Structure formats: C-alpha cells, structure tokens
Structure 1
Amino acid sequence: MFTVLSLLLLTAAHSATARIHSMRYFTTASSQVPNFPELVVVGLVDEVQIDYYDSNTKKLEPKQDWMLKETDSLYWKRQTQIALRSQEVYKHNIETAKKRFNQTGGLHIVQWMQGCEWDDETGEVNGYDQYGYNGEDFISWDMETETWIAPTPQSVITKLKWDQDKALLAYIKNYLLQECPSFLKKILEHGRSSLLRTELPRISLLQKSPSSPVTCLATGFYPDSAMLFWRKDGEDLHEDVYRGEVLPNHDGTFQMSAELKVSSISPEDWRRYECVFQISGVKEDIVTKLDEDSVESNRAKPISVTTIIIIIIAAVVALAGVSAVIGFIVYRWKKAQSTSPAGTDPVVLEPLRPGDGGSNSPSETSS
C-alpha cells in the first residue's frame, strides 16, 4: 500500500561502513476532508523535517534554523508560488482521477513522493518519483529504464503520455541525479551539526524470564544507518535470532533490538555469545558479552516487556506527526470508497519540485 506513513517508517538497509543520505518530499492532496488542508507538503533530509507547506497557511516555512542559512527570502517566496500553483493542479488531479476510476463524492487522496539518495563513500546517487491514489500505487519512475511503471489499467494512459514527453523525461532525470543531490549536499553542509552528528547508543541486555529470549537493546544512537546482531565465538548467528527494525525515539535518535533464544544454551556457554552494534562513521564495534550478571530481568528489576512496547509505540507516534493524520485520511477513504469500472479521463499530475532556486520550477505535465 502506498501511504506517506508507510514511506516515513520505511527504513532502508544501510552498510555500517557507508552513510547514505536522503532528501524526500511528500505531497498529499485531499478532497472533502473536514478540518484538514487540501494540500500538504513535507520535506525530509535524513528523516529530519526541513520545511512544511499547507494550503491553509499558503506559505512554505523552514522547520530548522539552519535552513535559513541555505537560502534567502526569495527562495521561500519562489517555492511558495510553486506550491500555490500545484494546489490548483492537484484539485484537478483528484477530479480527473475520480473519472478515471468512475468514482463520485467521498474522500479521495493523491499522494506523491520524490527524492534522492547519496552515498557519501562511493558517491553513488539514486532517485525515486512515485504517485499514489487513494492509498494504492498509481505510477512510478523506473530509474534504470527511464520510463514510467503503471501498476493499474487506470494509470496506463498516464504512462503512455509521460513516456512520450521527452522533455519531461529529461527534466526528471536531471532533477533526480543532479539537482536533488546537489541541493541535498548543501543542506547537509549547513545542517552539519545535527544531520552529520554521530551518537553512540546505550546497550542493555533484557530478559523477561529464565526461559525467555535475551533481548539486546541499543537506544539513543544516531544516524539510523546501524546494525545490531549476535555472534558466537566471533561468528555471526542467523539461527535462534530475531532482529528488530530501527525505530525512532522522541528526541530524534533511534533504537533497535536483537533477540537471542537462550533456552538451549547452557549457563557455562553464555560467555561465548556477544551482542554487536555497528554504526556508520565509527570503525570500532560496540560489543556486549552475554553474561548472566549483566542481564536485567523481571526478577532482579521490574523491567516489563509492556513498558518497552509502550516506549516503542510512543516513539513511532512522535515520528509519524503529519503522516499519522494522512494515514487516518486513507483509513477514512477506505471506509467511504465506492469503486466501479474504470473510466478513460486522463489524470494531470504536475510535480511540485522543491529545490535550489528557479531551476526547479515544475514542468507542465498536463495530459
């Protein structure tokens, strides 16, 4: 399912020796949603929000003080004008999409995610550009073939037209591989103190009962390009191990856990096991030996699994922010949707392309 919430919580697999930086913009246009802006734009760099626009305030604003160092007042005025133009286009997008899917009334949503990634070690650049309609994939850009992918019959019309627009294809390729990475590097430089920092975690070994797995919990680290795993006698373990996902903390740092099944391990063999934490930018591993004295359990200290779950849920809620509201809208639409055989009217999806200066003005992609 294509939702802003799922995209924001999606964590890519990073190497612990290289740092991959990203810039992503999420645009959500909606209709007939009470007390919610018709258009919302959120910009993220390395999962940190850098700016925000909605159709109620009609103004693109920075969310980090160091973003003001990157640009002048004219930049924010230009980008606000782009957003204002896009607001009208997205209204038309929703109406034509309703015709394409033969729908009337109710809640309807068009979502767009565009951005790029840059590996600061290899210099490799990757980009993505994809659209969703009512919580489902609609059309996406294929970087390898430089064409559009249409997952539904209703989006084939858009694919055929956009694939024939050579100016649009060239613009998207240049933006994703040149303009976006260039702007990303500038933002990273000005936001160096927060975006390029490295914070090491606190490591804890937790166990609910003697028969329960031992959980190695690493929390408070930054960035999120980290790995946590178990070893035995210096060899990585793949059996009897469960690795959790990287999750956000309320203070902008991250946490993750890895469980080891110990019911079949004799007490004298515990010291042969160790929990290993690796993070980009730090050569030395953080190693925690599995020792009975170092494991915190309910018997020694009242540390409950419920408490850990509450902490994780609170962290996810804190990160979701705007996207949680968007997720709710998708839910509302799911309940109210009314879908019939597809129509043939085209969808107009004009990109809003925040970037550096006037060169990033949105191209005309009317179908």
Structure 2
Amino acid sequence: VSLSGVHIIQEIMGCEQDDETKQTVAFKLYGYNGEDFIRFDIETEKWITSNPLAKTTKQEWDRKTASNGVWKNFLTTVCPDMMKMYFNDAKNQRHRLPDKLSHVTIPPSVSLLQMTPSSPVTCHATGFYPDRAMMFWRKDGVEIHEHVKKGEIFHNHDGTFQLSVNMNVSSVPAEDWMSYSCVFQFSGVEDNIITKLNKSVIRTNWGKNENRTDKSEKHSAVL
C-alpha cells in the first residue's frame, strides 16, 4: 500500500436483525480509497482480503488472536444486545410524552367522516392524552349499541392517541339525525366532548365540509 499522497480508509462495523427470521447478522470490514479492502470472518476469527494489497494486513491481523476473539464477542453478543436496547428505548420514547406532561390532560380534535353516502359515519378523535378515554354514540342522551362498532385506541407519533367509533346510519331517517351525537369522554373527567350527527359537518370524499365540534362541553387541557 502506497503511503504517498492522500488516501481514504473506511471502517464499517455493526449488526442488523432480519424482521422476519429475527436472525442477527454482524459485520466488520474496511475499505481503502473507495474499494473493499478486508473484512472480518466471525466464524473463523480470521480476516478475508478483498484486495491483493491487503495480504500483509491480513497476515498481521490474523496473528492477533486475542483481539479477534474480542471482536467476535462484541459482534455476536454486545452489538445485538445494544441494538435491542436502543430499539426498545426508541420505541418507548416514541409512545411517551415528556415527563413534564405526564399530568396533563389534552383534549382531542374530533371529526365526523364518511367515505360514501351509504358508508357508516365515523367519529374520529385524535391528539388526546392520556389514553384513559372512551367514545360512543348516543341517541336522545342515551348510549346506543345497535349498528355501532367501536375501535381500539392507537398511538400517534407524538405520544398522543387516537380513537374511532362507527355508526351505520343507513336506517336513520334524515329528520332524526340531530338526535344522535358522538361523545368523547376522559375517565374521571366530568366534561365531555359532544359532536352532533349533522350532515353539514361530515367530512366526505365527495364534498368538502369542515367539522365543527360542539364546544359547549369541551374539556380544556389542565395541569
């Protein structure tokens, strides 16, 4: 290897896990001036050349059996453990608001959605915190269960949550629509967020309508 002029040495080391098989593959290799140079073989604890210029380096590094044993342990044990730890931490952080918000109640934005005129009406709440919440449809102030399908609570990327509840309105006469309402309710909180079943506020795929949530019982964020 020539030492005159400017040369670039690159090292790539790490491990990755196959999402399907859950098998971990580790690697440690070097590049020289933009070309593959030499790589470490975990099974044999030897170095494999990718360039004729790496022959001398291979001979020298193969003799470092103690160091090669350390690299094998790091790549097969330490690296996968670190990867799992960082992955779990990142997943937990993604689903958790900062500690200073742990005692805050954040109300949702509620929308009524309908794909087609014959589709169920979806009452969708998003951006709320914490997840101790429920949502349901009611008629004339009484909760109903017939023709209603409740969804699960899902995480948003910012640590808040979303929830939906559908109601089949195909058999509801037009004059009765205003007697139905969607209710969002935090556990342990008296105030509810109520959204009347009103065609003028339903967001659809065939028209542009703005949602206007009933503010009369909206719960504010409190510390």
TM-score between both structures, scaled by the size of structure 2: 0.53
Residue 234 of structure 1 deviates from its aligned partner by 1.4
CA offset digits 1:57-81 (Å, max 9, x no partner): xxxxxx99x8xxxxxxxxxxxxxxx
Does residue 33 of structure 1 match 2:56? Answer: no
Q: What percentage of residue pairs aligned between the two structures are identical?
A: 47
Q: Report the residue type matching 2:187 in the other structure.
A: S
CA distance, structure 2, for counterparts of residue 242 and residue 228 of structure 1: 11
The structure-2 alpha-carbon separation of the partners of 1:237 and 1:31, relative to structure 1 and needing over 3 Å to count, comes to: closer
Q: CA deviation at 1:270?
A: 0.4
SS at match of 1:269: helix
**Structure 1 residues 38 and 276, CA gap change in structure 2 (3 angstroms):** same
Give the CA RMSD over aligned residues: 3.0
The answer to whether 1:214 aligns with 2:121 is yes
Maintained 8 Å contact 2:200/2:209:
no
**TM norm structure 1:** 0.33
Task: Pick closer, same or farther for the CA change 1:283–1:48 going to 2, 3 Å.
Answer: farther
Report if aligned partners of 2:202, 2:209 keep a CA contact under 8 Å in 1. no
Q: Give the distance between the partners of 2:190 and 2:209, measured in 1 at CA.
A: 35
Residue 49 (structure 1) aligns with: 93
Of structures 1 and 2, the one scoring higher in RCO (CA 8 A, sep 6+) is 1
Q: Matched residues in 2 for 1:289 and 1:197: separation?
A: 27
Question: Residue in 2 aligned with 1:311?
Answer: none
Equivalent position of 1:297 in the other structure: 204
User: 1:283 pairs with 190, 195, 210, which one?
Assistant: 190
Determine which of 148, 153, 164 is the counterpart of 1:246: 153
| Separation (CA, whole Å) in 2 of partners of 1:266 and 1:277 | 24
Matches within 5 A, 1:106-185: none
How many residues are aligned here? 134
**Equivalents in 1 of 2:130, 2:204: separation in Å?**
29
Alignment of 1:182-261 (within 5 A): 191=99, 193-261=100-168
2 CA distance for matches of 1:272 and 1:302?
Answer: 20
Superposed displacement of residue 236, structure 1: 1.2
Deviation at 1:38, TM superposition (A): 2.9
Displacement, 1:302? 9.0
Shift of residue 209, structure 1, vs aligned partner: 1.3
- Partner-residue secondary structure (3-state), 1:203: strand
Letter paired with 1:33? T
Runs of 5+ consecutive residues of structure 2 not aligned to the other structure: 1-20, 27-75, 211-223
- How far off its partner does 1:33 sit? 0.9
Change in CA separation of 1:259 and 1:34 when aligned onto 2, cut-off 3 Å: same
Deviations 1:118-168 (A, max 9, x none): xxxxxxxxxxxxxxxxxxxxxxxxxxxxxxxxxxxxxxxxxxxxxxxxxxx
The alignment partner of 1:38 has SS state of: helix
Counterpart position of 2:10: none
Unaligned 5+ segments in structure 1 are 1-29, 51-62, 67-190, 304-367
Q: Check whether the contact 1:230–1:237 (CA below 8 A) recurs between aligned residues.
A: yes
Q: Distance in 1 between matches of 2:202 and 2:166?
A: 13
Partners of 1:300 and 1:265 in 2: CA distance: 21
Alpha-carbon separation, structure 2, partners of 1:32 and 1:264:
53
Match of 1:267 among 155, 171, 174: 174
Deviation track 1:238-289 (CA, whole Å, cap 9, x = no partner) reads: 1101111111111111111000000000000001110000113532111111
Is the CA contact 2:136–2:165 (under 8 Å) kept in the aligned structure 1? yes
Q: Kindly indicate which of the two structures has a greater share of residues assigned to helix.
A: 1
After superposition, give the CA deviation of every residue in 1:31-89 in whole Å (9 maximum; x if it has no partner).
85114943234469xx9539xxxxxxxxxxxx99x8xxxxxxxxxxxxxxxxxxxxxxx
CA 266–49 in structure 1, closer or farther in 2 if over 3 Å, else same: same
Query: In 2, Cα distance between the equivalents of 1:229 and 1:32?
Result: 44
